[in-house]
Structure 1
Amino acid sequence: MALLPLLLLLLLRLVASAPASSPATALFVLGDSTASCAATTLPLNVSFTSSGPCLFPSGRRLLPDLLAAKMGLPPPPLVSTLNGTAVEAAKGVNFAEAEEGARGMIFRMGAVGQQLRLATETLQQLRLEAATPQDADSAAAGAVFVLSFGTDAYARLLARGPEADASAPKHGRRGFGRLLADRVARTVAELYEAGARRTVVMGVAPLGCAPRVMWEGLHLVDGRSCVDEANELVQGYNARLAAQLEALRPRLPGADIVFCDIYKAMMEMITHPARYGFDEARKACCGLGPFGGTIGCFTKEMVCPTPQRHVWWDLYSATEAASSLVANWSWSAHSSVCQPINLETLTGHTSFSY
């Protein structure tokens, strides 16, 4: 009889850790520079070349690349590198690329729409080339969609100069956040109509602590705190987006929609850097001026000797070390970064630990 409580406990642990669905077989990514450095429209965040690829392709991996690795998949290739066949797209695609003439524009709803169109066309192609309708359904159900919008938009909104003033003339800064959250939520619903059933939406990091915003708000901070107004705007957007997704769930039967609170994860590192192996939570690893926020990263010689000890890579984006922590916390059942379920459960790649 002494074994019975132990057996019951073991059974409960197995049930709790069982995957909610079959393992995901593909990763599709939509977003801005947080999803692909080829998608950035920030002229000051020089982490790319005019032809698109990262300036330092081996310097750091972005969050979608790290999540792909956890799923046992390679980083999804940029859509522009594929030949348009379903076979190539079967393992996933990164749709996040800047359009011609996109640099210098804050956030164009058309950019989201273009990526959505490419994603739905890819799903249609997978269905058309599937051997049976069941295979088509399995291909759609086996895909995980990651949406990561907002960072570039808020980076421009928080910048100095006429671009920031002209970014949301009709709606104001807070109204702009509502507009953006509504558009991202509609994108989730439209992907569902196209067959997507597993979707992850990333919130925006605390840009009030980012090197560029810290430099521009130098008169507001003492080098230890962050720019509160900027963080309040981002938090408002994240809250609106999370609420929109919560309202969507009962309207989309069979869908798993997860919101990942990147703000919460990054603030934990920024508030307690030493706890996570960081020496520097304010200054960029690659950049010049106060906080490394005056001039962005454009030569290898500008890179700090220990990027793994920095939270911020450049003006607005995290180092791979920080992104790796976010990926781990997003994946883990012991973290509340992603809700209502963690990404390990969402993707069906659950592992048992005793």
Structure 2
Amino acid sequence: MVTSLLVIAIFFIISSHSKALRFPQELYNLSLNEIFIVDSPSGPPSTSASPTPLLSPTTPAVSSPLVPALFIIGDSTVDCGNNNFLGTFARADHPPYGRDFDTHQPTGRFCNGRIPVDYLALHLGLPIVPSYLGQEGELKDMLHGINYASAAAGIIFSSGSELGQHISFTHQIQQFADTYQQFVLSMGEDVTIDFISSSVLYISIGTNDYIHYYLRNVSNVQNLYLPWGFNQFLASTMRQEIKNLYNMNVRRLVVMGLPPIGCAPYYLWRYKSNSGECIEEINNMIMEFNFVMRYMTEELLHELPDARIIFCDVFQGSMDIIQNHKRYGFNATTDACCGLGKYKGWIMCMSGEMACPNASNHIWWDQFHPTDAVNAILADNVWSSRHTEMCYPMNLEKIVVDKPE
């Protein structure tokens, strides 16, 4: 890991500039049913930072969104550019990242194209959600949602800290709370409650608590916690934060489980997998965590009145893709599309010369992250269980389309 970081340091100059949302300086006419924005005669303020690129104009838009907004909390699985504004090694703001995105430019997404929440936004009839950092802070820029996710973040505050700055899980929830207060000040409390409770909040975090904490045995954690105890600790932290979100009137919540990182190219290389066999001891921890999280979700459904929480087992959905890769059109199941070393898992993706010509037949894009094609499949499963059922007790479509009983 140290070797990888030294190599990365040669290639990158890290910027430590960050920029958070500013309070909108506009006048608003608001009602419980509609939100009208009266633009300031002086026009929007200028900014030195460019917003995260959105979909190209040719992308079809749904005229009637199913929910008001999509809010996203998480790590590199859903970071859409927040880490571009932080001093960190965990950045994807350089080619070939984003080469198959709508703009064909790197956006900060750890993928060759779209991440799962990009596809889910389209299912919901929303535009792609912008990053929290780098926006101008106008209300109209937040009305379809905000993405707070930060690569290297974990449920534990210090997870991933060796890579530099990141926005921790707790801090992301505080940012959401700040956004909530901006809505209250701009729109009124009643409108905000209706707006937030009708929207969807998506959480995808926890992988870095294994990659950058437990598996590295930081602070001798493995002697303090067996995997089961560590999983219980993570789940209890997640449980409390979900309750905090519920107290901010979040009612529609998607909690994502963890993927099979024991099959990731980095661990195939590090554990010297002979023929691409997944590292069973790592995957067993992940399956156990997902089991605990699913049980915790079921408990919260009984505990929190009118909450509609679903747990989506990404391990289950991903293993279906790996085991049935031919049916899905993948022929490269172990090697990353971009990287160096065996399974291209030794060094992360840093230049276009390190990437394969066609990522669509690969399951893995880099050391840890899946390709756009895999993200599309997983998003379809979250939305409608199209390929395999991986969300419990129901999929997202049922939450937003069906009326509560």
Q: Which bracket does the TM-score occupy, shorter chain normalised?
A: 0.7 to 0.9
Following superposition, the deviation at residue 311 of structure 1 comes to 0.5
- Corresponding position: 1:27 with 2:81: no
| Pair 1:110–1:273, CA change in 2 (3 A) | closer
Equivalence for 1:62: 115
Higher relative contact order (CA 8 A, sep 6+): 1
- CA positional deviation for 1:188: 1.3
Instruction: Quote the Cα distance in structure 2 between the aligned partners of 1:118 and 1:325.
Output: 30
Mean Cα deviation higher: 163-172 or 188-197: 163-172
Alpha-carbon offset, residue 115 of structure 1: 0.6
Matched-pair identity in %:
30
Instruction: Give the alignment partner of residue 119 of structure 1, picking from 155, 161, 176.
Output: 176
* Structure 1 residues 164 and 37: alpha-carbon distance in aligned structure 2, compared to 1, 3 A threshold: farther
Per-residue CA distance 1:232-260 (angstroms, 9 max, x = gap): 01111111111111111111111100101
Please identify, of 55-64 and 333-342, the stretch whose mean Cα deviation from structure 2 is larger: 55-64
Residue in structure 1 matching 2:211, options 140, 152, 155? 155
Q: Structure 2: any 5+ residue segments left out of the alignment? A: 1-64, 95-105
Q: Distance in 2 between the 1:173 and 1:38 partners?
A: 32
Q: 1:130 aligns with which of 187, 211, 223?
A: 187
Q: Does 1:316 pair with 2:372?
A: no
In the other structure, the counterpart of 1:202 is: 256
C-alpha separation between the residues in 2 aligned to 1:153 and 1:186?
Answer: 17
Is 1:47 aligned to 2:103, yes or no?
no
Correspondence for 2:327:
275
**Higher relative helix content:** 1
Give the corresponding residue for 1:143. 199
**Could you say if the C-alpha distance between residues 276 and 333 of structure 1 is closer, same or farther in structure 2, counting changes exceeding 3 Å?**
closer
Distance 1:108 1:247 in 2: 34
Q: Does the CA contact (< 8 Å) of 1:31 and 1:39 recur in 2? A: no
After TM superposition, give the deviation of residue 142 of structure 1 in Å: 2.2
- Conserved? CA contact 1:44–1:295, under 8 Å: no
Determine the C-alpha separation between the residues in 2 that align with 1:232 and 1:44.
29
- Superposition deviation, residue 172 in structure 1: 4.3
- The answer on 1:232 being equivalent to 2:284 is yes
Contact 2:89/2:163 (8 A) holds in 1: no
SS in 1 for 2:275: coil
Structure 2 counterpart of 1:261? 313
Alpha-carbon distance, 1:108 to partner: 11
Amino acid at match of 2:269: W
Deviation at 1:70, TM superposition (A): 1.3
Aligned to 2:380: 328
| Contact 1:286 1:303 (C-alpha < 8 Å) held by counterparts | yes
Cross-structure match for 1:250:
302
Find the counterpart in structure 1 of residue 143 from structure 2: 90
Cα 1:39/1:238, change in 2 over 3 Å: farther
Is 1:338 the counterpart of 2:386? The answer is: no
Displacement of 1:348 after TM fit?
Answer: 2.7
AA of the residue aligned to 1:249: L
Matches within 5 A, 1:295-306: 295-306=347-358
Greater Cα offset, 73-82 or 26-35: 73-82
1:29 partner SS: strand
Asked if 2 retains the 8 angstrom alpha-carbon contact of 1:182 and 1:241, the reply is no
Write out per-residue CA displacement over residues 184-225 of structure 1, whole angstroms, 9 at most, x where no aligned residue: 22211110100111000111000110000111111xx33242
Aligned length: 319
Which ranges of structure 1 fall in alignment gaps of 5 or more residues? 1-21
- Alignment partners' CA distance in 2, 1:247 and 1:103: 29
- Asked if the contact 2:204–2:256 (Cα under 8 Å) also holds between the matched residues in 1, the reply is yes
